[in-house]
Amino acid sequence: MDFYLALLQVIGIHALIGLSAYVVILTGQVSLAQAGFFAIGAYVAGMLTVLAGWHLIPALLAAGLVAGAVAFLVGFPALRVKGLMLVVATTAFGEAVRLFFFNFDYQVAKGGVRVGPLGGEGFKQIRFFPENGYTTLDVLVFIWVVVGVVMALLWWMDRSRAGAVLRAVGEDELAAQAMGIDLTAVKVAAMTAGGVIAGFGGAIYAHYTTHIEHFNFGIVLATFAIAYPILGGLSTAFGTVVAVLFIQGLLIEGLRFLGDWRNLLFGALIVLAMNLRPHGLLDAATTLRLRRLFGRGGAGRDA
């Protein structure tokens, strides 16, 4: 049982980082900076609960705020470029953040023990959950409440004008500009929103593992982040969560019986999925069919 609870926790955390990339990809930008925002969220929230003694909820909000602010600042210069340039620029940003935490020491004595981030050693003892008596189930509920709130906000956004604007930019920048949409504002807004969501994810991650190190936040995580929405399809945020379930649940955990060799099949299955469904598992056509199935066809937006 605990195994499944732990798995659902991992899925929730990865859903957050996947959703953070989803918002950015909607505008047609492929960002590998999400792991960097995630790292910032993790360190900020960890420091606030451990060093400043905050409750997790304000710490989580602060982490989202800081990560969002950094994303906002990075968004301006980074979004001047696009395509491969943006991929490289955001990769470099993510690596710079990782290196920053690799060199970041800020320790204070607390009850005779020194706590706080210690460079390459990482940041240990982020023990808000155990200290406050949270059970595994409590933590799981906490994670999925945050995921639920983020999903609800994204769902609402997607149905509002904001979603249409993001998609318009993603589909055809020139046409969007001709419609009077300010491209920079939209892209920076999406980047900021992605930063906030990644910050939440990082904050939860830090408290879930209790011990974070710089190499948790490398390119691999950043690439996973964009793989989720792309594999899931960009028509709804649910696609991203489905892709996280598919990758983390089915491929990584489901194939664990294969032992060390599971990554081989993992790679092959993702390639297969991308070949069979280049527009994602839940592409626009499938979404529409599902909507019809649940008797809502034609009621909502088409496509």
Partner 1 sequence: MLDLIQNTIDGVMIGGAYALLALGFTLTFGVMRRLNLAFGAIVLCGLYAGAAAHQALGWGLLGSIAATLAVAVAAGLYVERLCFRALAESASIAAMVSSFAIWMQLEEIAALLMPRRTYAYPALSEARPWEWAGLSLRPDQLAMAAVALGAMAALGWTLRRTRFGLAARAVATAPLAARLAGIEPARIGSAMFLLACGLGGLAGALIAAVDSQVTIKFGMWAMLKGLVAMTLGGIGSIPGAVIGGLALGVIESNAQWYLGAEWRDIVAYGLLFAVLYWRRGRERPWTNS
Binding site for partner 1 (CB under 8 A): 30, 77-78, 80-81, 83-85, 87-89, 91-93, 95-96, 99-100, 102-103, 218-220, 223, 226-227, 230-231, 260-261, 263-264, 266-268, 270-271, 274-275, 278-279
Torsion angle of C-alpha atoms 63, 65, 70, 74, degrees rounded to 10? 130
Residue 92 CB, nearest approach to partner 1 (Å): 4
- Nearest CA to 31 out of 65, 78, 99 is that of 78
Residue 136 or residue 223: which is nearer to partner 1 going by CB? 223
Rounded to a whole number of angstroms, the minimum distance from the CB of residue 88 to partner 1 is 4
Beta partners for 143?
A: none
Whichever of 127 and 283 has its CB closer to partner 1, that residue is 283
Q: What is the rounded distance in angstroms from the CA atom of residue 270 to the CA atom of residue 244?
A: 12
Residues 40 and 202: beta-carbon distance below 8 Å? yes
Shortest gap between Cβ of 208 and partner 1 (angstroms)?
Answer: 23
Cα dist. 169→8, 73, 190, 237 in Å? Answer: 34, 20, 11, 17
For the bound state, the minimum distance from the C-beta of residue 220 to partner 1, rounded and expressed in Å, comes to: 8
Nearer to partner 1, 42 or 226 (CB): 226
Identity of residue 167 = R
Q: How far is the CB of 161 from partner 1 (least distance, A)?
A: 26
Instruction: Identify which of 34, 13, 62, 48 has the alpha carbon closest to the alpha carbon of residue 222.
Output: 34
* Residues 213, 177: Cα–Cα separation, whole Å: 42
Please tell me the distance from the alpha carbon of residue 101 to that of residue 95, in angstroms, as a whole number. Answer: 10
| CB closer to partner 1, 49 vs 248 | 248
- The smaller minimum CB distance to partner 1, of residues 137 and 250, is found at 250
